[in-house]
């Protein structure tokens, strides 16, 4: 296993984290019980994973309970993350990033996980019905109380995350150190803005659904759709993407995988580990052999040609305003070429769209 810092903290986590949505039966995302959960956690720890991510809403608390049981006697050896925000019952006050809900749910998570602190507590999504300051002050409070060590966000748009971070800085509150976001070879929209935001603020990206709900395992094609019983078939398209583009990506994944004699899934995970600002990639396997294979991604080194092929097959294009930002800051500003000549060693990482006098 290889390790990285968790965002801009001193905490060190494994490059691959164990996801837990498959633990428990109330979400139909794996239906693994206690015996299987304990076995999967043991495999992860034996292979050097020290980072486990869960959420209160996963099977409505059942996942946290199963993980807590599996970690008896081992809690101090791992970095444990969970989340709050999504509905935990019919009562509308059991939802959201409100002071009432966060204070209640952090206690529930602590109890289910059988611990007196949470290493990383994450807001599971933006809450448009709660004042942002209420959420941020509450998170600061539970850090000061010692119930939480660090805080993170998940599934925010760039402006939402930036607004939160700037408010934390202005009010002197505990700051977000991670962003748990969807990112994969068929879902690269994170690169449009959020990735640059994370780099600028030293926020570590935690990648969820790196295999696009199982699609990037390479098992499915136009002629071979997902069979009944698979997670992709049972849960549907867990993350949306253009299927035709997806099939092209899978073809290249298989080509690259053949060069290294590994699985397409391992290639897809390795590609993510090479992206900027990524602290850890979360894998949620249902079978031991799947978990073992996913962990192997940390030792796979893709060649420049491998990455070029994967980038080209999955290229989503560059939307406005990012292309204009790159055009002005990279192609048309002579200071960039002077200050960062290494960026232009291969001809430049942004093609000058307007062929200005500074393009070379």
CB atoms within 10 A of CB 45: 18
From the list 58, 121, 183, 220, the catalytic residue is 58
58 an active-site residue?
Answer: yes
Q: How far apart are CA 123 and CA 137, in angstroms?
A: 13
Torsion of CA 119, 125, 131, 132, to 10 degrees: 50
CB atoms within 10 A of CB 95: 20
For the chain, how long is the longest CA-to-CA vector? Answer: 66
**Range list of H helices, the chain:** 34-46, 62-70, 99-113, 132-144, 158-171, 194-200, 231-235, 243-260, 264-273, 288-295, 304-314, 322-326, 334-339
Buried b (16+ CB within 10 A) or exposed e, 203-224: bbbbbbbbbbbbbbbbbbeeee
- Please, is 341 exposed, middle or buried when counting C-beta atoms within 10 Å of its C-beta (0-12, 13-18, 19+)? exposed
Torsion of CA 286, 290, 292, 298, to 10 degrees: -110
Task: Write out the two tokens for 173.
Answer: 């509150």
The helix or strand, by DSSP H or E, that contains position 13, with its residue range, turns out to be strand 12-14
CB atoms within 10 A of CB 90: 7
Q: Which residues are catalytic?
A: 58
């Amino acid at each position: 296993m290889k390790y990285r810092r968790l965002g801009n903290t001193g905490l060190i986590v494994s490059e691959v984290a164990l996801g837990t949505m498959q633990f428990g039966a109330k979400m139909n995302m794996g239906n693994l019980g206690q015996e299987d959960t304990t076995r999967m956690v043991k495999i992860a720890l034996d292979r050097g994973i020290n980072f486990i991510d869960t959420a209160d809403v996963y099977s409505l608390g059942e996942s946290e309970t199963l993980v807590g049981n599996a970690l008896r006697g081992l809690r101090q050896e791992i970095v444990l993350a969970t989340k709050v925000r999504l509905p935990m019952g019919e009562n509308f006050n059991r939802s959201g990033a409100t002071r009432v809900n966060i204070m209640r749910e952090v206690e529930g998570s602590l109890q289910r996980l059988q611990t007196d602190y949470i290493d990383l507590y994450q807001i599971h999504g933006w809450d448009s019905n709660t004042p942002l300051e209420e959420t941020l002050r509450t998170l600061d409070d539970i850090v000061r109380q010692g119930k939480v060590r660090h805080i993170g966000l998940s599934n925010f748009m760039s402006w939402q995350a930036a607004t939160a971070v700037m408010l934390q800085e202005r009010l002197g509150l505990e700051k977000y150190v991670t962003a748990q976001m969807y990112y994969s070879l068929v879902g690269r929209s994170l690169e449009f803005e959020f990735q640059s935001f994370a780099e600028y603020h030293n926020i570590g990206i935690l990648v969820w659904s790196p295999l696009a709900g199982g699609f990037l395992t390479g098992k499915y094609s136009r002629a071979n759709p997902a069979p009944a019983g698979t997670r992709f078939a049972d849960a549907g398209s867990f993350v949306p993407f253009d299927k035709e583009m997806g099939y092209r990506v899978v073809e290249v994944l298989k080509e690259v995988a053949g060069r290294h004699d590994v699985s397409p899934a391992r290639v897809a995970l390795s590609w993510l580990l090479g992206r900027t600002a990524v602290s850890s990639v979360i894998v949620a396997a249902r079978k031991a052999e799947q978990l073992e294979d996913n962990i192997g991604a940390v030792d796979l080194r893709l060649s420049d040609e491998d990455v070029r092929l994967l980038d080209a097959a999955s290229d989503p294009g560059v939307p406005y305003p990012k292309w204009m930002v790159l055009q002005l800051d990279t192609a048309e500003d002579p200071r960039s070429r002077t200050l960062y000549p290494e960026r232009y060693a291969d001809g430049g990482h942004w093609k000058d769209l307007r062929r200005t006098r500074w393009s070379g």
